Structure 1
Amino acid sequence: MKVELLHINDCPNWEEAAARLRDALNATGHSDADIVLRLLRTSEEAAGVQFAGSPTLTLDDEDLVPSEGKTTDLACRIYLTPNGLAGLPTTDQLVEAITARGY
């Protein structure tokens, strides 16, 4: 299981996203999974990964919460959550996404 959090330096949500991702991994029985925090500094770095804005959470190189597609723009990301638009997904959304992938 390869888990990554792709983010930019100016993103105010990546640290909370990491905490929610950890909670979701724990809730799905994957407390031993490492989360790789990858800071993207250039558009070229963003082009080389499944980046859809910061933060992007991936499992085995696939976006856990798929969106309209990847971008090379070093910008924040907006997620549709049960409570409306937000800068990161809910823990429940992450649990559902991990479970849906058979983990």
Structure 2
Amino acid sequence: MDRRAVRVEVLHIEECPSWREAGARLQIALAEAGIDAAVEYRLLEDPADLAGTVFAGSPTIVVDGADLFPAEPIGELACRIYPTPAGLRGMPDTEQLVAALRDLPRAGR
């Protein structure tokens, strides 16, 4: 698979601890999907921090400015729940991350 560079961010609030594990899973998924990217973390501490973001709860995984798991931005500092094969969880599993990353449009298309 070709390597492609993208910007990857984890938008999070401190009160939802799943952002740390989500970031670790994301690192693994990026490597498996053949994507050359460093994961950046952005702490949102105030409702004003949400302006201009696609924040849909913590953690929101953003690739090139778009939510990797598209959802409506919520406009408040809150935790996020993801549907996974194991039920509702505070983050997607690694396989879901890999699949979503592989579905990203390729540069130049």
Sequence identity (%): 50
Q: Which residue of 2 aligns with 1:82?
A: 85
> Is residue 6–residue 51 contact of structure 1 (8 Å, CA) maintained in 2?
yes
Alignment length (residue pairs): 101
Q: Which residue of 2 aligns with 1:17?
A: 22
Separation in structure 2 between the aligned mates of residue 61 and residue 4 of structure 1, nearest angstrom: 8
Residue from 52, 56, 78 that aligns with 1:52: 56
Instruction: List alignment gaps of at least 5 residues for structure 2.
Output: 1-5
Amino acid at match of 2:69: V
Instruction: List alignment gaps of at least 5 residues for structure 1.
Output: none
Q: Which residue of 2 aligns with 1:4?
A: 9
Separation in structure 1 between the aligned mates of residue 32 and residue 62 of structure 2, nearest angstrom: 17
Residue 37 (1) aligns with residue 41 (2): yes
**TM-score calculated relative to the size of structure 1:** 0.92
Separation in structure 1 between the aligned mates of residue 17 and residue 47 of structure 2, nearest angstrom: 19
The runs of 4+ residues in structure 1 deviating greater than 3 Å are none
Separation in structure 1 between the aligned mates of residue 13 and residue 75 of structure 2, nearest angstrom: 11
**TM-score calculated relative to the size of structure 2:** 0.87
Residue 65 (1) aligns with residue 66 (2): no
Separation in structure 2 between the aligned mates of residue 83 and residue 47 of structure 1, nearest angstrom: 33
Cα RMSD over matched residues?
Answer: 1.1
